Amino acid sequence: MKLYISGTCPVDGSIQNVYFAKIPSSGKIFFVCPMCKLAWSMPPEPTILDSLDDYKDYAPQGFWLPSRDDISRAALAHLIIGEEDLDKESLKKAILRMLAPGYEQAHGN
């Protein structure tokens, strides 16, 4: 699984990235920190915590990881600052608990 990075979390500081996420029912893109489980409609400033929205406020049943094409179609590709594979065990566990049902079947993972 590929994760697209939009910045760093204002709660977890420079130790945790904020990733692109997708609402399965609408395809709308939002941004999430898997460690603190907070979410934003746009990437947060790394040093400014101006909201405390849980990811379930955006995707109550969980989210899917968007592809680069999904992000491009949403006209948000310019916000990608990096990418990584889901290989860190702690990150993988956090993300897998937050994914919506059906993600792995729909994406062949």
Average pLDDT rounded to a whole number, residues 10-35: 89
pLDDT band at 16 (very low <50, low <70, confident <90, very high): confident
| CA dist list (Å): 76 to 9, 43, 44, 49, 70 | 18, 10, 14, 21, 9
- For residues 53 and 73, give the distance between their C-alpha atoms in angstroms, rounded to a whole number: 25
The number of domains in the chain is: 1
CB neighbours of 80 closer than 8 A, spacing ≥ 6? 4, 5, 6, 20, 68, 71
Q: pLDDT of 44-83, one tens digit each?
A: 887 788 888 999 999 999 999 999 999 999 999 999 999 9
Phi, psi torsion values for 107, nearest 5 degrees: -110, 5
- pLDDT at residue number 106: 66
Question: Which residue range(s) make up the domain with 100?
Answer: 2-107
Give dist(CA 91, CA 10) in Å, integer: 17
